[in-house]
Amino acid sequence: MAGGLKHYKLAQDPAFVRLSNMTNNRYRYFRWTPRTARLSFIYMVVVPGIVGYIAYKTDGKYEFRAKLRGDDIREY
C-alpha cells in the first residue's frame, strides 16, 4: 500500500539550503547601517503616519450603509 516503502529520494538543491540557513540565521548577521536605519524609520514612522493622516482626514466623510445605486457616498 501507499507509504509502506521509502521510495522517495529527494536531492536537495544547495541554493535552497543556503537560502533556508540564511533566513533562519538572519538575526545573527544583521547590522545597523544607514540604509537599514532609514528603511526602519520609514516603515515604523512615515508609513503609519501617512495612513493615520489619511484616516483622520476622511473620518466620517464617507457613508457606505443604506445607500442605493446612484446615491452619493460622500456625506459633505
pLDDT at residue 6 is higher than 90: no
Say which residue, 64 or 20, is predicted with more confidence. 20
Q: Which residue has the cell 520609514?
A: 42
What does the block give as the cell for 19? Answer: 537560502
pLDDT digits (tens, 9 = 90+) for 41-55: 999 999 999 999 999
Q: Is pTM beyond 0.75 here? A: no
- Where residue 28 falls among pLDDT bands split at 50, 70, 90? very high
Query: H helices within the chain, ranges in order?
Result: 14-24, 26-29, 34-41, 47-57
Taking the CA atoms of residue 54, residue 58, residue 63 and residue 69 in that order, the dihedral angle to the nearest 10 degrees is -70
